[in-house]
Structure 1
Amino acid sequence: MSHPKRLKMMQQLMDKHQLKAIVLSSPTSQHYVSGYKAITYSRPLFYVHSQKESAFIVPGLEEEHARHVARVDRVIVYYEHPEQAHQGTNPVTSLLSYLQASVPVGKLGVEFNAVSIKVAKALIEAGWELVDVSDDLLGARVVKDAEELDLLRSAGKMVSLAVRASLEAVAPGVTELEIDQQGHRAALEEVSRLYPNTIAAVNAMTPSGVVRTVMPHVYSNTRRLEKGDILIHTHHVVLNGYIAECERTCFSREASDRQKEAFSVMLAAQQAAFDTIKAGVPMCDVDLAARAVIQKAGFGDYAIHRTGHSMGLDIHEPPFFRFDEKALLQEGMVFTVEPGFYVPGLGGFRHSDTVIITKDGYELVTNVASDLESMIL
C-alpha cells in the first residue's frame, strides 16, 4: 500500500469513529503508516495524525533518523541532555502540548493494545475521550499489497537459504548456536549481494534433544548435538520490515522408528492444512484439518498450539489458523502453516512454511526439503 493510500486509510478511520486525531504508540503501526521505525529501547515515540497534519514526537537521539525517513509533516523533539532541556524533556508533556495547541479536544483514537496506562491516564485527564483503533489498524494490514508481497517473497527466498545452510551444519558435536550462525551468515551475505541499501535482520532458534524440543519456543544455547538427536530449527529473515518464516524438524544421523512415525504424522498434518487452504475457506477449517490427522494418529493431546499465524511487519500477526477463527481467507493474506505436537520422551515435531493465499489455493514462498530422508542429516 502506497503512503498516500495509508494516509487515506487513517482519514477513513477518523471519519468512521468521528475522531479529532489518532495517536499511534506501537512501533509497528508507526512504521506501517509513516515508513519509519525507531530502535526505541526505553524512549517512547508518538505518531499523531489529525485533519491538519501528521507529526512524530521523538527523543533527541532519533531526531536525524526521523527527519530523514519519516513521511510526516512535522517532527517534534524532546531531549534528555541539559543543553536542549529548555525545549522539553518529557515525551508525554510534549504529546499533550502538541495536541492542545493543534487539535480540538474530543474523541482521540489510540491503540489500546499498545498505549501505556500512564499515557492514557494523562490524555483522559486532559479531556480526551479515548477510542480504540487497534483492530482497525491490524485489519488494514491483513491483506498485503503487491509491494508487500514482493518483499515477503524475497524474504522467503532468503529464509529458505538460511535454513538450508543451517541444516548443512547439523552434526554430532556442533552446538545449537553454531547451527544458527551458519544460516545467519549465508542469508546476510546473499541479502547484501542482492538487495543493496536494504534493512535486513535474521533470527533463529534450534532446540535439540528430546527434552528441549518439547518446548516449542526456546532460545538456542551451547548444547552440543549428539548422534540421534532430534532438532527443530527455526529461521526468520526480515527485509525492510517484512518477515518470512521457515522451520524444519530434523535428526542428527538417525531417528528411532517411533520418531519416524511421528514425523510422518506431522508431515501429513501439514499437507492436510495445505490441501484446505484457498480464498473463501474459514480459517478454522485449516486448523481442524491438520488437527484431525494428528488426533487420528493418537497425538492429539500433544498438539498444543494453532496451525499458523499471519505474517507481515510482525512475526505473529492476527488472524490465525485456529479452531475457533471463523473469518474467511482472502487473496493476498500471508500465513505460516505449522501444525506441531510435542511428546515428552520422544521430542517435538513441527515444520513451518510461509504461504500467500490465492484464489484457488496458496503460493509457497519458502522452499526447503521437508521429507524424512532429507531431514536425517
Structure 2
Amino acid sequence: MLDHRLQTLQTWLKNEDVAYAFIQGKANLFYLTGFRCEPHERLVSLFVFQNEEPILICPNMEKELVRQTGWKYHIIGYSDHENPWELISHYLASLKIEGSTIAIEKSLLSVARAEQLRELSKGAGFICCETKLMNLRLIKNDEEIAILREAAKLADYGVEVGVHALSTGRTEMDVLAMIEYELKKKGIAEMSFGTLVLSGEQSANPHGKPSMKHLQEGEFVLFDLGVVLEGYCSDITRTVAFGQITEEQQNIYNTVLHAQTETLKLCQVGTTLGDLDRKARSIITEAGYGSYFPHRIGHGLGTEVHELPSLNETNNDQLQVGMTFTIEPGIYVPKTGGVRIEDDVLITADGYECLTQYPKDLQVIK
C-alpha cells in the first residue's frame, strides 16, 4: 500500500517536472511511510524523487522505530551534534535528479527550512503538493476503514465512560481524567485533540477549555473527544443533561438532533457537500437559533482529525464512496449552554455508515 502511494506521488512529480517532494507534515509522513512521530525541533522528513528511491531523514534515536514500521528504503540518520542538511546535501549530490522545482507542503514549511531547501537545489522554485496529497488521502481503502471503525468504537467508549462518571461534586477535569485513564487502559496513547468536557455555560463555547468547575444539576454536559489508533483519528461529540433541564434546553437539544438526523439522510454518493451544511443550517435557523450555529457542519477525518473535505456551504464537490467525515451541528446559547451532536460518517455505495454509534436520544443523568 505504501509503495502504491509513493509511486502515485512519483508519477505526479514526473508529470509536473518536479525534482523532488520534501514532506515533513506529521500526517503526510505517516501516510507515505507508516512512521508517525512528534519531531519537535528536530528534522524528520521524506524526500521523494521521480526515478530514485525515496529517502527518510530522522534522528538516529528514531531509526529503529522507522524500520519497525516496515520502511525498506534508505534512511539518513543523524546525531544531535550533526547538521542533517549537510548529510542530505552530500547524499543528493550522488543522485541524478531530474526536474526544476521542489514540491513542498506550503502551509507547513517554515522560512528557515525553505532557505535550507534553496541551498540544496540552487535556482529551484517551489510548487505546492498539499492538494495532491490531501486528494490521495480523501478516499479511504478497506484497511483504513477498518481502523477508523475501531477508532470510532473507542470514541464511543470514551463517551460512555464520561457519562457514567458524572456525579455531583466532580469537576470537568475529574471526568476528563477518568475518560483518558480508561482509554489508556485500552492501549490508547494519543488523543486526536484535547478532550473536552464542558458543563453549563461552558458548553456554550464550541471549543471551550475544561476547568475545575463543579458539575451542577440542570446543566448540559458536552463531551468532545477522539483517539488516534494506528495513525487514524476518531472524533465524537455527545451532549447529555445532568439532572432535569428546562423546556428551552430540551428544545435546543431536539433541534440539533433533528438537524443532524435530516442531514445524515443526504449523505450519499453524488450529494453536493454544501447541501449538507445548508440542510442543517436551515433547520436550526427555522427554529430560531441560526445565529447560534457558528461553524460548518463537518470536516474530513483520517490521518488528521481535520482534513479534506471541508463541509461548508460553499463547497461544490460531491460525496464519493470511501469519504470519511463528521456531521456535527450545534447550537450554543450564552448563559444557557450548548449542544453539539457529532458522528463519524463513511460514504458507501448504498448510502452512509455511522462509524460512531453512541446513543443520541437525550439522556438525563441523575
- What TM-score do you get using the length of structure 1 for normalisation? 0.90
Q: What is the distance in 1 between the residues matched to 2:129 and 2:62?
A: 26
**110, 113, 126: which one aligns with 1:116:** 110
Q: What is the distance in 2 between the residues matched to 1:376 and 1:236?
A: 22
* Residue 199 (structure 2) aligns with: 208
* Residue 66 (structure 1) aligns with: 66
* Residue 276 (structure 1) aligns with: 266
* Residue 93 (structure 1) aligns with: 86
**88, 101, 107: which one aligns with 2:101:** 107
Is there any run of 5+ residues in structure 1 with no aligned partner, and where? Answer: 82-88, 193-198
3-state SS of 1:141 partner: helix
Structure 1 letter corresponding to 2:116: A
Q: Which runs of 4+ in 1 moved over 6 A?
A: none
* Residue 86 (structure 1) aligns with: none
Is there any run of 5+ residues in structure 2 with no aligned partner, and where? Answer: none
* Residue 177 (structure 2) aligns with: 181
Structure 2 letter corresponding to 1:361: G
- What TM-score do you get using the length of structure 2 for normalisation? 0.93
Provide the aligned C-alpha RMSD in A: 1.8
Deviation at 1:38, TM superposition (A): 1.9
Structure 1 letter corresponding to 2:190: A
Q: What is the distance in 2 between the residues matched to 1:111 and 1:305?
A: 26
* Residue 236 (structure 1) aligns with: 226
Q: What is the distance in 2 between the residues matched to 1:236 and 1:47?
A: 28
Contact in 2 for aligned 1:279/1:330 (Cα 8 Å): yes
**Paired positions, count:** 360
- Percent sequence identity over matched residues? 29
Q: What is the distance in 2 between the residues matched to 1:300 and 1:94?
A: 56
* Residue 12 (structure 1) aligns with: 11
* Residue 156 (structure 1) aligns with: 152
**304, 307, 312: which one aligns with 2:297:** 307
Q: Deviation string for 1:319-342 (max 9, x for gaps)?
A: 121100110000111011101121
Contact in 2 for aligned 1:175/1:222 (Cα 8 Å): yes
Deviation at 1:66, TM superposition (A): 2.4
Contact in 1 for aligned 2:219/2:337 (Cα 8 Å): no
Contact in 2 for aligned 1:249/1:375 (Cα 8 Å): no
2:213 counterpart of 1:223: yes
Q: Deviation string for 1:114-162 (max 9, x for gaps)?
A: 2211121232352222111110001100000000000001111111111
**254, 257, 267: which one aligns with 1:264:** 254
Contact in 2 for aligned 1:19/1:109 (Cα 8 Å): yes
3-state SS of 1:201 partner: coil
3-state SS of 1:75 partner: strand
Q: What is the distance in 1 between the residues matched to 2:220 and 2:323?
A: 32
Q: What is the distance in 2 between the residues matched to 1:215 and 1:16?
A: 47
**171, 182, 195: which one aligns with 2:167:** 171
Identify which range, 167-176 or 102-111, moves more after superposition.
102-111
Q: What is the distance in 2 between the residues matched to 1:263 and 1:297?
A: 11
Q: What is the distance in 2 between the residues matched to 1:60 and 1:4?
A: 24
Q: What is the distance in 2 between the residues matched to 1:298 and 1:153?
A: 35
Q: What is the distance in 1 between the residues matched to 2:284 and 2:134?
A: 31
Structure 1 letter corresponding to 2:71: R
Deviation at 1:313, TM superposition (A): 0.6
* Residue 23 (structure 1) aligns with: 22
